Structure 1
Amino acid sequence: MSTIIISDIYGNYKKFIKFKKTIKKYNKYLFIGNIINNKYESLKIIKNIISMKNNVKIILGNNELHLLAIFYGASPFIKKDVLNNIYNSKEKDKIIDWLKNQTLAMYYKNFLIVHAGVLPQWDLQKTLNLAKEIKDILNSNKCFNFLKYIYNNYNKKNIIWNDNLSGYNRLLCINNALTRIRYCNSKGLINFKKKKNKKKIIPWFKISWRKTKDINILFGHWSNFKLIKTKNIFCINNGCAWGGKLTTIKIKNQKIIKIF
C-alpha cells in the first residue's frame, strides 16, 4: 500500500488542492499536525481530510490542541488565530470528536512519526505509551482540566522528565515534547527561550544519548530548518505557512516532493 506523508499545511487550501491533484496514485495519506490555522480556509481542509475516512491518518500538532482548548473554553482566541470558520461551523462537534480520537505519535512502516519531536529520555515504546496518555485524557471527563492546565502553564513551567512525574505536570511535559519541542539542554530539559541560552541548548535530535537515535523519526513543526533528511531524521516542514513549499515524503522510498 502506497503512503505519502504531509506536514504543516496551516490552512493553506490552495496548496492543499495542488497537493491532491499532484499526488493521485497514493491510497494512504498521513498528515503530521498543524493542518489548520494561519490561513482562513482551515475548515475546507479539515472537512476534506475527514472525508478521506480510512485512507487518512493524522498526528495532532500544537494548532489542533489549541483548537480543542478554544472549543472547551480552556484557552481564548489569540490575535493571530484564524479558526473562527471552524469554531462557528455547524460541523464543529463532529470535527472536535474526530480530532480527539487522533494520536500524538505512531510507529508506521519503520518510522516513529510525531509532530514536533521526542524527549531524549524516551525510547520508542515509551513515546507511544505516553502519546496514548494524552489521547486517553482528551477522551475523558478531565479533558477541560487538562487543556486548561497546559495552556495556563506551557510557557511558565518547564519540567524535566522522569518516570515518576504524575498528574498534570506529567501530561504537560508529554504534550510539550510531542507538539512543541525544538531545543533542549544536555540533560533533556526542553528550552523555549533559545535566544537567551544559545550556547547551552541543542536541537532535540542531536542529543548524543537520545534513546531513539537508532530509530527512523519523521516530524514537522520546525520550519526554521526548512528541510532535514539525514540517516534517520526527517523534518519535512518547509515553511508552507510562511511562503515556503508544501513538502511531502513518500514513505516507501523516502523521496521528498515539494508541491510549490
Structure 2
Amino acid sequence: MSTYLIGDVHGCYDELIALLKQVEFSPETDTLWLTGDLVARGPASLEVLRYVRSLGDAVRLVLGNHDLHLLAVFAGISRNKPKDRLAPLLEAPDADLLLNWLRRQPLLQVDEEKKLVMAHAGITPQWDLATARACASDVEAVLSSDSYPYFLDAMYGDMPNNWSGELSGLARLRFITNSLTRMRYCFPGGQLDMYCKDTPDSAPAPLKPWFDLPGPVPAQYSIVFGHWASLEGKGTPPGIYALDTGCCWGGELTCLRWEDKAFFTQPSNRRQEAGGSPLTAAS
C-alpha cells in the first residue's frame, strides 16, 4: 500500500499513465495524490479527467488555477484560450458530468496520520493549518453550490493581498483562492505578490518564495505543492516538496512515493512541440 504524489498533469494523459505503470500503481491498494492543474496546455485534458474520476476513492486531488479557469469557461464567464487545448473536453458528451464532478473537488488535502498537507500553490505564511482548512472549506462550499458562477466571475483579481480574519464576502474568497492556487512570492510581512514569476535567484527584493518565510504551520507537517514549474522541483526547504516539473512545457512528470521518499519521472512526449521549458513557462 503506497501513496504516490504527482505534480501538475496539465492534460498529459500518456505521460501520466506511463508514470503510473512505472511505479506499478494499483487503485485497489494504493492512493494517488495530484497537485492540481489536471487540465490545459497538454493534448488530452478530457482523457485525464475521465481517468482521474474513474479512480474514485483511490485519488486525492486539489484544484489548481487552470482547473478553476476551466470551470469559469464552462460557466460562460471566461473565454476559452486555444493554447489551453480544452475544446475536446468542453465539447465532449460527458463534459457536464466531468465538470460538475471537478467543481466539487477540494482546494486542500490534509492527512493527519501522515502529517501531509497538499495545496496547488502552497500555504501562505499568514495562515496556520486550522485557518488554511477553514478558508479552503469556504471556497469549496461556494464551488459546490448552485451559486458557483457568481464566485467564478469575481475570483479574477490580485487584491486583497493581505490576510485578515475580518475579510468577508468575495474579497475573502478571492484572497483564499489566490493563496491556494496562484501564490508564488510574498513580501516580508506575508502579503501576496501576484505579479512576479521569475525564478528565486532573479526575483526582485524584497520578494521571497512563500516557503522561505516563517509560517505557523507546525514543522512536523510536510507540504506538497505544484504550480511553479520553473523551480524544477528544487530549492525548497526540508519537508516542502515542489512537484511541478513542467511536463506540458517539455519537461517531466514527477512522482514522489511518500513511504520511502523515492522520486520517479516520466519525460514529456512533446519536448520539441512544447517550444518552451520549465525555466520560462508560466503555469
Alpha-carbon separation, structure 2, partners of 1:213 and 1:96: 35
Q: Letter of the aligned partner of 1:237 in structure 2? A: D
- Equivalent residues of 1:7, 1:35 under 8 A apart: no
Does the alignment pair 1:56 with 2:59? yes
Does the alignment pair 1:128 with 2:145? no
SS at match of 1:21: helix
Does the alignment pair 1:31 with 2:38? no
SS at match of 1:246: strand
Does the alignment pair 1:255 with 2:262? yes
Match among 39, 43, 53 for residue 40 of structure 1: 43
Q: Which residue of 2 aligns with 1:140?
A: 145
- Equivalent residues of 1:40, 1:85 under 8 A apart: no
Match among 171, 188, 191 for residue 169 of structure 1: 171
Q: Letter of the aligned partner of 1:30 in structure 2? A: W
Matches within 5 A, 1:1-260: 1-26=1-26, 27-108=30-111, 109-151=114-156, 154-155=157-158, 157-194=159-196, 198-208=204-214, 210-212=215-217, 214=219, 215-228=221-234, 230-260=237-267
User: CA offset at residue 232 of structure 1?
Assistant: 1.1
- Equivalent residues of 2:211, 2:237 under 8 A apart: no
What is the percentage of aligned positions where both structures have the same residue?
31
User: CA offset at residue 218 of structure 1?
Assistant: 0.6
Q: Letter of the aligned partner of 1:9 in structure 2? A: V
Aligned-CA RMSD value: 1.7
- Equivalent residues of 1:36, 1:42 under 8 A apart: yes
User: CA offset at residue 181 of structure 1?
Assistant: 0.3
Alpha-carbon separation, structure 2, partners of 1:79 and 1:33: 20
Structure 1 portions without partners, runs of 5+: none
Q: Letter of the aligned partner of 1:115 in structure 2? A: H
- Equivalent residues of 1:245, 1:259 under 8 A apart: yes
Q: Which residue of 1 aligns with 2:280?
A: none
Task: State the TM-score, normalized to the length of structure 1.
Answer: 0.93
Q: Which residue of 1 aligns with 2:272?
A: none
User: CA offset at residue 25 of structure 1?
Assistant: 4.1
- Equivalent residues of 2:13, 2:48 under 8 A apart: yes
Query: Number of matched residues?
Result: 256
- Equivalent residues of 2:127, 2:216 under 8 A apart: yes
User: CA offset at residue 141 of structure 1?
Assistant: 2.9
Q: Letter of the aligned partner of 1:72 in structure 2? A: A
Alpha-carbon separation, structure 2, partners of 1:258 and 1:181: 25
Structure 2 portions without partners, runs of 5+: 268-283
Q: Letter of the aligned partner of 2:195 in structure 1? A: K
Q: Letter of the aligned partner of 1:143 in structure 2? A: Y
SS at match of 2:11: coil
Q: Letter of the aligned partner of 1:119 in structure 2? A: T
Q: Letter of the aligned partner of 2:117 in structure 1? A: L
SS at match of 1:199: coil
Task: State the TM-score, normalized to the length of structure 2.
Answer: 0.86
Query: Residue by residue, what CA displacement relative to the aligned partner does 1:190-210 show, whole Å, maximum 9, x if unpaired?
Result: 1122269711111001113x1
Alpha-carbon separation, structure 1, partners of 2:91 and 2:244: 29
User: CA offset at residue 23 of structure 1?
Assistant: 2.0
Alpha-carbon separation, structure 2, partners of 1:64 and 1:16: 17
User: CA offset at residue 220 of structure 1?
Assistant: 0.8
- Equivalent residues of 1:34, 1:60 under 8 A apart: yes
Alpha-carbon separation, structure 2, partners of 1:85 and 1:94: 14
Alpha-carbon separation, structure 2, partners of 1:96 and 1:175: 18
Query: Residue by residue, what CA displacement relative to the aligned partner does 1:212-247 show, whole Å, maximum 9, x if unpaired?
Result: 261311101111110135421111111112111110
